[in-house]
Structure 1
Amino acid sequence: MTSAGPGPAAGRMDEREFRVLHKRLRDAAWTEGETNPRGALDHLTPERVVAAATEVRYGRTVSLAAPIEIRPGPDNPDPACHWMTGPVSAGGRPEGLQFATDRFAMNVHGDADSHLDALCHVLFEGRLHAGVSADSVTGEGAHALTLDLVANGIVGRGVLLDIPRLRGVAWLEPGEAVTADDLTAAETAQGVRVGPGDVLFVRVGHRRRRSRHGAWNAAQERAGLHPLALEFLADRDVAVLGGDGNNDAAPSPVEGIDFPVHVLAMQAMGVHLLDYLQFEELAPVCAETGRWSFLCVIAPIRLPAATGSPVNPIAVL
């Protein structure tokens, strides 16, 4: 492991440089006039799903989701609500059959709960991925590139790249950015290579830092990928990207553009994102077995016209 890594201000980009990168990645992923509603999921072919099943060696399953938060905090001012709707009893011991029932409500997109972003979630310059007009998203719901694209789930080969392990630290500090060189170095250190159709998970240690020091305003400061790291994903034909933070570093390393990784991954490249996962159970299992690739199963809820879903990805090793 190495201890050196780029600091919070490393690799600043101006807006012009970002737009050049955006066009390059967009043009590589999509041709004007081409209908490509699945985006990068096209890289995840049936043959690659079959091959992913051969990753299973031990029959061990590990959740990559954090428990849903129901108490407010600095990173979650409007948490999920969960309440019991039954049984309702005036006291005493009820006779016969009863059912315990409950209900919950939540904001899908936030800075605490594990969720999947549908491709209709990110609009940039009046367009979604593949040139779809922003007018397709209305007050009644989205009408293109919705959660319906993954109604049958996402099943494929998952790969975890552990950047704090690479740098010899417990976690990356808020504001630090993961570069393409970091991703390549992590592959070498872990003896794994990201390939076409893979579900790439990048650990920055967000959850470990949060459990050690408590929650903070992650909307203002968080570790994530540098925009240029998206060239790594494009070169390897990655199908899905997931992180234990937001995937975007904050403050943004791009002047005048917030959430540049979301813009590049989803709007330019058509890569679905998984935000605020947790890898603190998976990483030790990968280190113990020496295997950083696994079968991954992602099953979002089936909510028509939705921009995202709470999710509980499962790694099968």
Structure 2
Amino acid sequence: MTARDFRELYERLRRRTAPPAVDGRCGALRHLTPERVAAAAGEVRSGQTVSLAAPIDTVRGPDDPEPAVHRMTGPRPSDIGSDALHFATDRFAMNVHGDADSHLDALCHVVFDDELYGGVPASTVTAEGARRLSVDLLADGIVGRGVLLDVPGLRGVPWLEPGDQVTPDDLAAAEAAQGVRVGAGDLLFVRVGHRLRRTVLGPWDTAAARVGLHPRAVEFLAEREVAALGGDGNNDTAPSAVRDVAFPVHVLAIHALGIHLMDYLRFEDLVPACARAGRWSFLCVVAPLRLTGGTGSPVNPIAVL
């Protein structure tokens, strides 16, 4: 896609869907009405719960130069073997927007044309945190109908290779093959097989090569009025499909449409669960941390079938 084509797509999406930015359940979450949340509860049949998050990685690797840090702070060696009461305690730190761990991007995460989503000035994000559009807007979580589209399954391969792109036609074909249709207010999850490839072949430099959505696939999200998007990769390809725009899907989804993104999820437990159930939709509960001023959060979405 040329830079001009990208700009035209960006402006078209922004004019079509983005309301003036206000704090609260703004952006694409406006599609997730209380009525649609209540209807999503009807997706529960067996009561089986499935995590859509990957285990947090604490080992340095080519895609994770700053891994999460987990340190035990207690009990002390002198506590072991004593009869007194003690507690096991620990501390945890994470680079939220890394390329290995499952996380959610807040609407303040993407700065483009010196603005955030909805024309909010970029200056509202400072060293003290984000004063607007931060992840604490999701304090009550995101609960709705989740839909998983398995693109490698559609193509008959275990995973897509880095550099490949998921097109709008791929999404529509996956719907048809799986007998499901993405609708207004849905939480859409697109599997590209990144996590399985990493497990089987080992980690690699995903900043240089990864699979994701083609920018025009974001038009599919707008047309269907998707409330949130999650992928088992970064959702953006590398190298980028657009010259001089490294993360076009992030720009289009977060900045133009106000869609919260979830990156580096894991669907290897969900795929067989959906296949056994014979359906690819489910109740989904997303509960990020209540982090005032945060640009994102570790996340563990839960599918309830």
TM-score (norm 2): 0.98
CA contact (8 A) 2:21 2:117 kept: no
CA contact (8 A) 2:21 2:27 kept: no
Give the distance between the partners of 2:214 and 2:132, measured in 1 at CA.
Answer: 28
Structure 2: which amino acid aligns with 1:307? Answer: T
Among 116, 120, 123, which residue is 1:132 paired with?
120
Among 265, 278, 282, which residue is 2:253 paired with?
265
Matched, 1:46 2:25: no
Q: C-alpha deviations, 1:182-224, integer Å up to 9, x for none?
A: 0000000000000000000000000111111000011110000
Matched, 1:57 2:42: no
Q: C-alpha deviations, 1:20-72, integer Å up to 9, x for none?
A: 000000011125xx344410000000000000000001110000000000010
Among 276, 283, 287, which residue is 1:295 paired with?
283
Q: Which residue of 2 aligns with 1:308?
A: 296
CA contact (8 A) 1:30 1:36 kept: no
Matched, 1:162 2:154: no
- TM superposition shift of 1:288: 1.4
Among 165, 168, 176, which residue is 1:180 paired with?
168
Q: Which residue of 2 aligns with 1:88?
A: 76
Q: C-alpha deviations, 1:236-288, integer Å up to 9, x for none?
A: 00000000000001100111211000000000000000000000000111111
Give the distance between the partners of 1:90 and 1:152, measured in 2 at CA.
Answer: 42
Q: Which residue of 1 aligns with 2:98?
A: 110
**Deviation >6 Å, runs of 4+:** none
Unmatched runs of 5 consecutive residues or more in structure 1:
1-12
Among 13, 17, 41, which residue is 1:25 paired with?
13
Structure 2: which amino acid aligns with 1:285? Answer: A
Structure 1 pair 255/92, CA: closer, same or farther in 2 (3 Å)?
closer
CA RMSD of aligned residues (A): 0.9
Give the distance between the partners of 1:46 and 1:143, measured in 2 at CA.
Answer: 27
Percent identity among equivalent residues? 66
Q: How many correspondences in the alignment?
A: 303
- Equivalent positions of 1:199-214 (< 5 A) are 199-214=187-202
Partner SS state of residue 24, structure 1: helix
CA contact (8 A) 1:120 1:144 kept: yes
Give the distance between the partners of 1:149 and 1:180, measured in 2 at CA.
Answer: 30
Q: Which residue of 2 aligns with 1:122?
A: 110
Structure 1 pair 253/35, CA: closer, same or farther in 2 (3 Å)?
closer
Structure 1 pair 239/95, CA: closer, same or farther in 2 (3 Å)?
same
- TM superposition shift of 1:91: 6.7
Give the distance between the partners of 1:93 and 1:17, measured in 2 at CA.
Answer: 68
Q: Which residue of 1 aligns with 2:203?
A: 215
Structure 2: which amino acid aligns with 1:40? Answer: A
Give the distance between the partners of 2:299 and 2:117, measured in 1 at CA.
Answer: 22
Structure 2: which amino acid aligns with 1:174? Answer: P
- TM superposition shift of 1:97: 1.1
Give the distance between the partners of 1:172 and 1:203, measured in 2 at CA.
Answer: 9
Q: Which residue of 1 aligns with 2:236?
A: 248
CA contact (8 A) 1:119 1:266 kept: yes
Give the distance between the partners of 1:183 and 1:297, measured in 2 at CA.
Answer: 23
TM-score (norm 1): 0.94
Matched, 1:98 2:90: no
